[in-house]
């Protein structure tokens, strides 16, 4: 292989590592949310997620002027499910690939947290994008029907797990909520 081919090969491999890390991490997040966020397996996570976040944003109060932080003190719990993936990557991947894996994991976690906050902000810059509004609606459906749409960003995992719900199936609820207008938590 000449130098150009080597660089192209490396870049392609880095993209594959970054992409598979993104989808693996979003799958782990979806499963963790379903298995621990909405069951009492670990009481503290359940109380903080359902009693905190879901209680703050419920019914018609899906948005607020400022993000209401309720889960900061259990952030470490959310890091735990990623440990096996990181250890596996560490034992198999060369160092540069591992660095790409960690970088992608950090970006993925940040993107999930960031986008979730944007969903609940009354005035988000992202509201101009159709893709954003669609994901936001699916997340609001999760708040109204907590047994659906556990993924925050990649709802294809919910389709795979059989927990996906869209506005067609829950059309009446969405129309009712939207007719009333999604009100602020600070009202």
Binding footprint of Zn ion on the chain (CB under 5 A)? 37
For residue 168, the 8-state DSSP code is T
* Spatial distance between the Cα atoms of 109 and 111, rounded to a whole number of angstroms: 5
- Cβ at position 152, least distance to Zn ion in Å: 8
For residue 51, the 8-state DSSP code is I
Pick the closer one to Zn ion by CB: 14 or 27. 27
- Cβ at position 117, least distance to Zn ion in Å: 9
Pick the closer one to Zn ion by CB: 17 or 48. 48
- Cβ at position 105, least distance to Zn ion in Å: 21
* Spatial distance between the Cα atoms of 72 and 129, rounded to a whole number of angstroms: 28
Pick the closer one to Zn ion by CB: 37 or 52. 37
- Cβ at position 85, least distance to Zn ion in Å: 22
Q: What phi, psi does 56 have (nearest 5°)?
A: -65, -40
- Cβ at position 160, least distance to Zn ion in Å: 18
* Spatial distance between the Cα atoms of 104 and 17, rounded to a whole number of angstroms: 8
Beta bridge partners of 37: none
Beta bridge partners of 64: 121
Can you point out the beta strands (E) in the chain?
Answer: none
Count CB neighbours of 13 within 10 A.
14
Pick the closer one to Zn ion by CB: 52 or 100. 52
Cα distance from N-terminal residue to C-terminal residue, the chain: 64
Pick the closer one to Zn ion by CB: 43 or 94. 43
* Residue of this chain nearest to Zn ion (CB atom): 37
């Amino acid at each position: 292989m000449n130098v150009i081919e080597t660089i192209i090969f490396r870049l392609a491999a880095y993209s594959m590592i970054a992409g598979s890390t993104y989808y693996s991490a979003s799958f782990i997040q979806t499963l963790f949310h379903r298995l621990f966020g909405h069951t009492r397996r670990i009481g503290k996570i359940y109380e903080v997620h359902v009693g905190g976040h879901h209680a703050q944003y419920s019914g018609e109060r899906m948005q607020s002027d400022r993000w209401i932080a309720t889960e900061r003190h259990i952030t470490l719990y959310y890091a735990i499910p990623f440990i096996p993936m990181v250890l596996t990557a560490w034992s198999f991947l060369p160092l540069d690939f591992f660095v790409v894996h960690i970088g992608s994991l950090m970006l993925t976690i940040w993107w999930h947290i960031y986008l979730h906050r944007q969903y609940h902000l009354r005035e988000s810059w992202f509201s101009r994008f159709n893709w954003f509004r669609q994901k936001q609606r699916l997340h609001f459906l999760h708040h109204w029907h907590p047994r659906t749409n556990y993924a925050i960003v990649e709802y294809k995992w919910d389709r795979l797990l059989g927990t996906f719900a869209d506005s067609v199936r829950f059309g009446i609820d969405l129309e009712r909520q939207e007719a009333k207008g999604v009100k602020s938590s600070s009202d």
